[in-house]
Structure 1
């Protein structure tokens, strides 16, 4: 769906809403002081013939300043209010997810909230965050991060119960090269295919699945990632883990009622204990 064309006032509110709330308040104060000074300025009386145009221009300018001294600060204050509200909602959302016992809460939110949550998580890690996403959940690069003078790009994929494939990672890598980004992140509430993990290896792209994102938000260390050889990924015939969607390997039970029996176990064991019968 095409984006509705906005008025200049709406554009200004949107821009201000992306700034820290106190910047909007400062802009409102500066706009009022500046325009108020113009609004109370005396209009030079017409003394000489042929100067009527200057008189009219001064009058119109003073009238516009008189209106603008209230309108423009109001626009900035609305934007500041939206910024403050956005900060509050991001903070609340972050706290809610951090308090949840697992990453299932990531699937219970809209893609806009998911994008806001990811941005807040990176803000708390010292990045400055700019939202660049389109009008839908797949609007390309969603966040631009800056830290230490370097640019990092983020692709958010809030997909429920689905594996994010290598195509998404390739697309981000291409955009990173075009924009000269130092690194990138693909963040999903789900998991990544082995092909996506293998492609990202060595390319300064961090793939964050639902568990890793929840770990980041909760302030704990995410489990290590395991990368398989690309050829074995497509030829070994091993199933995907039902828990984290990594590849599985054949194991043999050492104890219990099934001691000595073979089964499929997750390659990420003991971080993941997913299993399948053979």
Structure 2
């Protein structure tokens, strides 16, 4: 089904809702001060032959500013409210799943809720998370993670009794190469085929099935429990017990080799052989 075309106000609200709530408030204040200054400003063009067009343009701009000084901040504030409410919903969903022993709960939520849950889990692991909104349950890259100067891409696959095949992992690897991402994650409420797991080896791609996702969620909720915090497919850092990520050496005698590195680098320099 084709997506309904948005008007300007709807587009502004949706865009603002993806920012932190306070960013929408700042934009609302800045927009009001700017437009209000225009609305109450004096017309600088004198009504005289040859300059009537400029006078009309300035008056029209002031009229638009008079209306826009209320409408534009309102749109930003609505987006800020949606952002704050969305943050509340993600936290509540995370706590609900973390407290539940039923892995089937992952299949009972919508794909939007599933992506929000995964994003919240990574956010609590110290990543800056951008929800790109792939456009559907299988709409490409769903989350972009940032930590330090590294970028990780996440593809979410949530469906009942889903087995993710190798084509999905190949697709993610291609996007990683095109965007220069350090690594990637494919997260599912189901499981992965043997071909998918084999393809991910050595390519800085982590495959998180329902068990690994529950370990991630329950681990980040209960601080200090390293065994629960570690992903099923990733070892713990020997120094700080953080869940390690695969990296590729870029210099030295081991250049090009894959190894497990601590996500807290450079604060922690723990490594393990891959």
Higher mean displacement: 9-18 or 39-48: 39-48
Distance 1:99 1:42, change over 3 A: same
Contact 2:208 2:233 in 1 (8 A): no
Question: Deviation at 1:222?
Answer: 4.4
Aligned to 1:126: 126
Contact 2:211 2:232 in 1 (8 A): no
User: C-alpha separation between the residues in 2 aligned to 1:96 and 1:173?
Assistant: 32
Aligned to 2:229: 221
SS at match of 1:37: helix
Contact 2:212 2:233 in 1 (8 A): no
SS at match of 2:229: coil
Kindly tell me the number of residue pairs found equivalent between the two proteins.
226
SS at match of 1:43: coil
Aligned to 2:57: 57
Aligned to 1:176: 176
Aligned to 1:101: 101
Is 1:141 equivalent to 2:141 in the alignment? Answer: yes
Is 1:20 equivalent to 2:34 in the alignment? Answer: no
Distance 1:123 1:221, change over 3 A: closer
Distance 1:166 1:47, change over 3 A: closer
Contact 1:3 1:135 in 2 (8 A): no
SS at match of 1:2: coil
Question: Deviation at 1:148?
Answer: 1.1
Question: Deviation at 1:162?
Answer: 2.7
User: C-alpha separation between the residues in 2 aligned to 1:158 and 1:215?
Assistant: 17
Report the structure number with the largest CA radius of gyration: 1
Contact 1:128 1:145 in 2 (8 A): yes
Aligned pairs (5 A) from 1:225-240? 225=233
Q: Deviations over 1:65-120 (max 9, x none)?
A: 10110010001011101101110110110010011024222111011100111111
User: C-alpha separation between the residues in 2 aligned to 1:44 and 1:202?
Assistant: 67
Contact 1:157 1:187 in 2 (8 A): yes
User: C-alpha separation between the residues in 1 aligned to 2:89 and 2:109?
Assistant: 13
Using the size of structure 1 for normalisation, the TM-score is: 0.77
Question: Deviation at 1:193?
Answer: 1.6
Distance 1:173 1:161, change over 3 A: same
What's the C-alpha RMSD, in Å, of the aligned pairs? Answer: 1.6
Consecutive aligned runs of 4 or more in structure 1 exceeding 3 Å deviation: 221-226
Gaps of 5+ in 1: 227-278
Is 1:29 equivalent to 2:29 in the alignment? Answer: yes
SS at match of 1:172: helix
